[in-house]
């Protein structure tokens, strides 16, 4: 019987694994039409959006969607591209790579879609890049921070190669974020002993690795390192280790789901050192769940707070007036700029073609080239891309929890 029950357990685990990866089939509602016609009278072009719109991360995902919506509405109202009306088609990836890939496929099959903004998660981006590259369609992410997406897997050793020429981003990378955090921790917060923990995921491990390297390079001491599993709830052994290492800062590369538990258990054990993380923990949920334990914790995030940008005031006003759901604070401005980059590129392509839109396949390829040459002032800063598709705007901000709120304590640019 023992063998039989073990066999059953194995089949159970296999079934579980299958359930996790099961993909819901999505009805293909792509509208087939000859949107690539050369008529300049009035063409409608779609800008696709892919982000998590339900479930975890959805607040930020909705901020991304409506950031694009406002950019498109503004462009239509100002008739930025004469003869073209833009519209938005937003698809929900639920933060799942498989769903993101389906969405990408759906967007490239739709002959009215000229380009896409998204996704939110670096892990999802990996599954989508190839689809857009094959279709020669531009994809601009306002939120992905993993350096490998633009600089290739070997970016850390200095061999940077751009894997996909259709992929761009308006957010800067973790290479800068980790360095900026190390600089703040060592030079501004005067922390000398850092304990570095990551969650072994693409984002977290990458970020923690960069922080560790830069912090040590500045002269800081690494009091210890450890890795955790996503989904763990008990960090008591880790907390005991940190306590005995006498570190004065805990750097955590990962998401708020684990960070909020770690900070709570750390403070409960009487270790009153701040937890510092990246944009993965920069969330109101982190403060809400960790409560008082989060007080004094630090997070870096890309860009500067949208509310402090003079150029973004109209954007915020519109967002609030239309009562759009979601959180535009972190990526809303970048989403607006990403959509604007695509709209401007369409204009460039049409101007070069005598005011007409070329056939769709050709138009998509030309828009990619035009985005590469983008050079304008967006609402979140100057928009232009380097040879890897990364933004040249390397602004970052350090936030700290003060009285139960994230407060910006230092903004700046980081250039290695």
Partner 1 sequence: MHTLPQQLANGLFLGSMYGLIAIGYTMVYGIVQLINFAHGEIFMTGAFGALTVWTNLPDGTSIWVGLPLMLIGGAIVSVLIAIGAERFAYRPLRNAPRLAPLITAIGLSLALQQAIFVWYPGADNAKTFPQLGTHPYHIGSVDIQRNDIFLVAAAVVCMIGLAAFVRTSRTGRAMQATAQDPDTAQLMGIDTNRIIVIAFAIGGLFAAVAGVASGLKYGQISYNMGFQAGLKAFTAAVLGGIGNIYGAMLGGLVLGIAEACASAYIANIPGMEQLGGQGWSNVWAFVLLIVVLLVRPQGLLGERVADRA
Binding mask 124-163 for partner 1 (x = CB under 8 A): ----------------------------------------
Integer angstrom CA distances of residue 2 from 6, 8, 9, 12, 262:
6, 10, 11, 15, 39
Measured from the CB atom, is 27 or 237 closer to partner 1?
Answer: 237
- Which of 234, 351, 377, 386 is in the footprint of partner 1 by CB under 8 A? 234
**Which residues is 398 bridged to in the sheet?**
300, 410
Least CB distance from residue 226 to partner 1, whole Å? 4
Q: State the minimum distance, in angstroms, from the CB of residue 275 to partner 1.
A: 15
Q: Is 237 in the site for partner 1 (CB under 8 A)?
A: yes
Which of 26, 79, 246, 288 binds partner 1 (CB under 8 A)? It is 288
Does 200 sit near partner 1 (CB under 8 A)? yes
Which region, judged by CB under 8 A, interacts with partner 1, from 69-77, 176-184, 229-237, 401-409?
229-237
Shortest separation between residue 200's beta carbon and partner 1, angstroms: 6
Q: How far is the CB of 198 from partner 1 (least distance, A)?
A: 9
Distance of alpha carbon 106 from its chain centroid, rounded?
Answer: 21
Task: Let me know: does 297 contact 274? Beta carbons within 8 Å.
Answer: yes
Instruction: Give the total of residues touching partner 1 (CB under 8 A).
Output: 45
In the shown chain, the binding pattern of residues 361 to 380 toward partner 1, with x for contact by CB under 8 A and - for none, equals --------------------
Answer yes or no whether residue 5 interacts with partner 1 by CB under 8 A: yes
Report the residue from 98, 189, 216, 269 that binds partner 1 according to the rule CB under 8 A. 269
The yes or no reply on residue 263 touching partner 1 (CB under 8 A) is no
Task: Give which of 142, 145, 205, 216 is closest to 174, Cα–Cα.
Answer: 145
Q: CA–CA distance from 275 to each of 77, 265, 286, 359 (Å)?
A: 45, 11, 12, 53
Binders of partner 1 in range 11-40 (CB under 8 A): 11-12, 15-16, 19
Q: Which of 137, 167, 140 has the alpha carbon at shortest distance from 152?
A: 167
Interface residue with partner 1 among 21, 42, 157, 233 (CB under 8 A) is 233
195 touches partner 1 by CB under 8 A: no
Tell me how far apart the alpha carbons of residues 88 and 194 are, in angstroms, rounded to a whole number.
45
Q: Which is nearer to partner 1, 289 or 311 (CB)?
A: 289
Is residue 404 within the footprint of partner 1 (CB under 8 A)?
A: no
Cα 410 from Cα 256, distance rounded (Å): 21
- Is 285 an interacting residue with respect to partner 1 (CB under 8 A)? yes
Structure tokens at 187: 């030079």
CB-based contact 178:278 (threshold 8 Å): yes
> Which tokens is 195 given?
């304990």
Nearer to partner 1, 79 or 246 (CB): 246
Q: Which residues of the shown chain bind partner 1 in the complex (CB under 8 A)?
A: 1-2, 4-5, 8-9, 11-12, 15-16, 19, 55-56, 58, 200, 225-229, 231-238, 240-241, 244, 257, 260-261, 264-265, 267-270, 285, 288-289, 291, 293
């Amino acid at each position: 019987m023992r063998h039989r029950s073990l066999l059953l357990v194995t089949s159970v685990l296999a079934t579980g694994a299958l359930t996790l990866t099961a993909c819901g089939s999505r009805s293909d509602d792509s509208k087939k039409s000859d949107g690539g016609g050369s008529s300049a009278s009035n063409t409608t072009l779609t800008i696709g959006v892919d982000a998590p719109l339900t479930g975890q991360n959805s607040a930020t995902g909705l901020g991304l969607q409506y950031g694009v919506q406002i950019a498109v509405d503004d462009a239509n109202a100002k008739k930025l591209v004469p003869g073209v009306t833009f519209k938005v088609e937003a698809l929900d990836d639920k933060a799942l790579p498989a769903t993101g890939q389906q969405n990408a496929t759906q967007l490239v099959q739709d002959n009215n879609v000229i380009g896409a903004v998204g996704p939110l998660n670096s892990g999802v981006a990996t599954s989508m890049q190839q689809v857009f590259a094959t279709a020669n369609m531009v994809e601009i992410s306002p939120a992905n921070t993993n350096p490998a997406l633009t600089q290739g897997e070997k970016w850390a050793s200095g061999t940077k190669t751009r894997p996909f020429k259709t992929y761009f981003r308006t957010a800067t990378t973790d290479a800068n974020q980790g360095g900026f955090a190390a600089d703040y921790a060592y030079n501004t917060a005067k922390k000398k002993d850092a304990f570095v923990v990551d969650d072994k995921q693409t984002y977290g491990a990458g970020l923690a690795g960069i922080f560790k390297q830069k912090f040590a390079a500045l002269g800081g001491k690494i009091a210890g390192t450890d890795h955790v599993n996503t989904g763990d709830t008990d960090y008591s052994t880790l907390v005991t280790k940190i306590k005995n290492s006498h570190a004065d800062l805990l750097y955590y590369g990962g998401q708020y789901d684990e960070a909020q538990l770690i900070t709570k258990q750390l403070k409960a054990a009487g270790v009153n050192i701040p937890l510092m993380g990246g944009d993965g923990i920069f969330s109101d949920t982190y403060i809400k769940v960790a409560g008082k334990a989060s007080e004094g914790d630090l997070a870096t995030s890309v860009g500067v707070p949208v509310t402090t940008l003079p150029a973004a005031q109209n954007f915020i006003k519109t967002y609030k007036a239309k009562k759009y759901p979601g959180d535009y604070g972190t990526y809303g401005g970048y989403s607006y700029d990403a959509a604007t980059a695509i709209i401007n590129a369409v204009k460039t392509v049409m101007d070069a073609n005598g005011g007409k839109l070329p056939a769709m396949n050709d138009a998509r390829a030309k828009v990619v080239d035009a985005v590469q040459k983008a050079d304008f002032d967006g609402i979140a800063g100057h928009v232009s891309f380097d040879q890897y598709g990364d933004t040249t705007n390397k602004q970052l901000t350090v936030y700290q929890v003060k009285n139960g709120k994230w407060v910006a304590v230092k903004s700046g640019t980081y250039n290695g």
